[in-house]
């Protein structure tokens, strides 16, 4: 699944060495119409959003696919940015979803399942769900061991609290602001973050373009910025050029997209200026090692990710076995009709 004109792919949550980070609250501020899809993995939510997205694209709409960080080919959300309409898989997001828009509708996809079959598998489904939640904490703990410098490691008590915490953007930037208090030579914060932490604007968007996968880090950046002019920064000129660009954007009130680093979520991988058709990147966007990602995972992390994939697949298969797909196909027409109504009203 790659970007084409009018179609974008990105993440808004990430497993990081600092805990689970969610940018979802920033997206929710913009949404007018929200469809919240509930039900476990395997109930057809991701497939439904992909198919709805195709129908929207065929009608000439711009579509954002919010990718799942838990499964490479799965979709966690679908967003129509011009109309502020969003479909979200509730189970894919750790952040408590609070709605700011005038309309939201909750749809339980488990209602399309044969309940007798679900009840039959209920003990195993509960067991696998709890196991996946525990493994996610193991992923964060291993990321800390693999990527966090020893001098930044917290105490065992703080580390445990970090693993079980979901941070939003304000909490992430507080890491930067705390580092900034230590002076310009602080190892906890880079020049880009110092500048951005002082810019208060409503036209900022925040995304992740890298996701942890068993085979390595999945990099969506090359396709995301394929049609942009690029400036790849390396060395001392980066700070000066970014100051100039950011000040100009701030003065003109132009939009800016900030690509957050999942390993250091208080820092930035790249900046996009859509009105200038310009992407400014730290290093080569095609070479993730230049942004601090390793080409291969540690043996310990691979083992954890393998167990996670195995358990998730088993859970999906159990639930998928109970789905009434004919009912889902019929409902897709109803859901599409509702979205088109919202689109015309918006």
Q: Answer for the pair 312, 96: CB distance below 8 angstroms, yes or no.
A: no
Residue 306 forms part of a structural domain: no
* pLDDT one-digit tens code per residue, 199-225: 555 577 889 999 999 999 999 999 999
Residue 269 in this model has a pLDDT that exceeds 80:
yes
Residues 96 and 21 in one domain: yes
- Give the range with max mean pLDDT: 86-100, 172-186, 299-313: 299-313
Mean pLDDT of the 57-86 span: 93
Residue 160 forms part of a structural domain: yes
pLDDT at position 239 is 59
Residue 53: name the closest of 99, 6, 115, 116 by CA.
6
Residue 313 in this model has a pLDDT that exceeds 80:
yes
Residue 115 in this model has a pLDDT that exceeds 50:
yes
Residue 287 forms part of a structural domain: yes
Residue 57 forms part of a structural domain: yes
What is the reported pTM? 0.87
Residues 160 and 52 in one domain: no
Between strands 204-207 and 256-260, the pairing is: parallel
**Virtual torsion, Cα 38, 39, 42, 45, nearest 10 deg:** -20
Residues 286 and 158 in one domain: yes
Mean pLDDT of the 294-312 span: 95
Q: Which residue has the higher pLDDT, 254 or 148?
A: 148
Q: How many domains does the chain have?
A: 2
Mean pLDDT of the 228-238 span: 77
What is the C-alpha to C-alpha distance for residues 220 and 204, in angstroms, rounded to an integer?
20
pLDDT at position 180 is 43
Residues 232 and 171 in one domain: yes
Structural domain for 187, as ranges = 150-291
Residue 128 in this model has a pLDDT that exceeds 80:
yes
* pLDDT one-digit tens code per residue, 166-188: 777 666 656 554 444 444 434 34
Residues 157 and 246 in one domain: yes
Residue 247 forms part of a structural domain: yes
Residues 163 and 254 in one domain: yes
pLDDT at position 178 is 47
Q: Which residue has the higher pLDDT, 151 or 215?
A: 215
What is the C-alpha to C-alpha distance for residues 132 and 312, in angstroms, rounded to an integer?
7
Residue 84 forms part of a structural domain: yes
| Residue 91 phi, psi (nearest 5) | -70, -10
Residues 164 and 237 in one domain: yes
Residues 102 and 23 in one domain: yes
Please say whether the dihedral angle defined by the alpha carbons of residues 61, 67, 73 and 78, taken in this order, is positive or negative: negative
Residues 258 and 173 in one domain: yes
Residues 240 and 340 in one domain: no
- Collapsed DSSP state (helix, strand, coil) of residue 226: coil
Residue 143 forms part of a structural domain: no
Residue 299: burial class (beta carbons within 10 Å; 0-12, 13-18, 19+): exposed
DSSP 70: S
Residue 25 forms part of a structural domain: yes
Mean pLDDT of the 59-82 span: 93
Q: Answer for the pair 69, 16: CB distance below 8 angstroms, yes or no.
A: no
* pLDDT one-digit tens code per residue, 234-267: 765 665 676 677 666 666 667 788 899 999 888 8
């Amino acid at each position: 699944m790659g970007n084409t004109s009018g179609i974008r792919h990105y993440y808004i949550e990430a497993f990081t060495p600092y805990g689970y980070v969610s940018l979802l609250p920033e997206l929710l501020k913009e949404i007018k119409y929200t469809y919240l899809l509930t039900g476990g993995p395997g109930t057809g939510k991701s497939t439904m959003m992909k198919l709805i997205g195709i129908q929207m694209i065929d009608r000439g709409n711009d579509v954002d696919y919010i990718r799942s960080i838990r499964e490479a080919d799965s979709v966690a959300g679908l967003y129509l940015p011009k109309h502020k309409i969003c479909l979200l898989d509730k189970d894919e997001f750790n952040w408590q979803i609070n709605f700011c828009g005038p309309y939201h509708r909750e749809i339980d996809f488990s209602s399309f399942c044969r309940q007798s079959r679900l009840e039959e598998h209920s003990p195993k489904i509960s067991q696998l769900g709890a196991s996946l939640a525990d493994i996610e904490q193991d992923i964060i703990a291993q990321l800390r061991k693999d990527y966090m410098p020893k001098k930044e490691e917290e105490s065992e008590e703080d580390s445990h609290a970090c693993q079980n915490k979901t941070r939003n953007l304000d909490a992430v930037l507080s890491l930067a602001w705390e580092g900034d208090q230590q002076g310009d030579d602080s190892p906890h914060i880079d020049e880009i973050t110092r500048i951005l932490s002082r810019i208060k604007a409503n036209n900022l968007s925040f995304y992740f373009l890298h996701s942890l996968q068993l085979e390595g880090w999945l990099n969506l950046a090359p396709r995301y910025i394929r049609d942009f002019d690029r400036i790849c920064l390396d060395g001392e000129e980066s700070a000066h050029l970014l100051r100039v660009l950011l000040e100009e954007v701030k003065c003109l009130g132009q939009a800016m997209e900030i690509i957050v680093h999942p390993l250091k979520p208080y820092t930035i991988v790249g900046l996009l200026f859509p009105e200038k058709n310009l992407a400014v990147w730290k290093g080569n966007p095609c070479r993730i090692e230049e942004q601090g990602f390793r080409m291969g995972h540690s043996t310990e992390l691979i083992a954890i990710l393998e167990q996670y994939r195995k358990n998730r697949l088993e859970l999906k298969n159990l639930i998928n076995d109970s789905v009434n797909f004919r009912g889902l196909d019929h409902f897709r027409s109803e859901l599409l009709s509702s979205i088109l109504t919202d689109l015309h009203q918006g």
